[in-house]
């Protein structure tokens, strides 16, 4: 539990793959899907979603496909997950307009909202480029870590 959906996983994998192939002008959904052995049509839908939210640029027609809309460093894991899975909250009820149904239950949620922000912060601090980097894990100053934040 508390896990990403497969769709978000696929999306991240695909973006990483695109980031790893900057030379090619565009890769089709099928290309990426085959590379990872995931359902092509499903990936297609995901990439379409990412395109609509501006993370990818697409090109129809022969030799068409997708490419990152920005530098891999400028795309955070947070944006990807948000685009695919929609806004997430660790609490079941959003403390938006309507409040919570269960009478006093929201008392739990307020402190957990901070947890939520922390998670979002971590996710925002990780870029697609970081994912590429990590594949060949740094041997030297490994300990310095990837993330540092205070809430």
Note whether 59 binds DNA by CB under 7 A.
Answer: yes
Min dist. Cβ of residue 83 to DNA (A): 13
Helix (H, G, I), strand (E, B) or coil at 84: helix
Note whether 135 binds a second copy by CB under 8 A.
Answer: yes
Question: Position of tokens 């359902």?
Answer: 39
Q: Which is nearer to DNA, 47 or 128 (CB)?
A: 47
Bridge partner residues of 67 (DSSP): 57
Min dist. Cβ of residue 52 to a second copy (A): 18
Q: Under a CB-based contact definition with an 8 Å cutoff, are residues 13 and 50 in contact?
A: no
**Eight-state DSSP code of residue 121:** H
Min dist. Cβ of residue 101 to DNA (A): 11
Cα–Cα nearest to 78, from 68, 86, 66: 86
Stretch that binds DNA, among 44-52, 70-78, 106-114, 143-151 (CB under 7 A): 44-52
Helix (H, G, I), strand (E, B) or coil at 58: strand
Note whether 47 binds DNA by CB under 7 A.
Answer: yes
Distance between CA 35 and CA 104 in Å, rounded?
A: 50
- Positions touching a second copy (CB under 8 A) are 1-6, 8-9, 12-13, 16, 35-38, 77, 81, 85-86, 88-92, 102-105, 107-108, 110-112, 114-115, 118-119, 122-123, 126, 130-131, 134-135, 137, 145-151
């Amino acid at each position: 539990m508390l896990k990403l959906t497969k769709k978000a996983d696929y999306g991240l994998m695909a973006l990483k793959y695109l980031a790893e192939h900057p030379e090619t002008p565009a890769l089709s959904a099928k290309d990426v899907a085959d590379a990872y052995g995931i359902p092509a049509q499903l990936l297609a839908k995901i990439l379409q979603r990412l395109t609509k939210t501006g993370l990818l640029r697409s090109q129809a027609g022969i030799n068409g496909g997708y490419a990152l809309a920005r530098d891999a460093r400028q795309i955070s894991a947070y944006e990807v997950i948000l685009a695919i899975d929609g806004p997430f909250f660790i609490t079941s009820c959003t403390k938006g307009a309507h409040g919570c149904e269960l009478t006093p239950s929201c008392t739990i949620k307020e402190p957990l909202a901070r947890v939520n922000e922390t998670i979002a912060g971590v996710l925002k601090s990780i870029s697609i480029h970081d994912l590429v980097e990590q594949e060949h894990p740094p041997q030297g100053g490994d300990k310095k870590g990837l993330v540092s934040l205070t809430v």
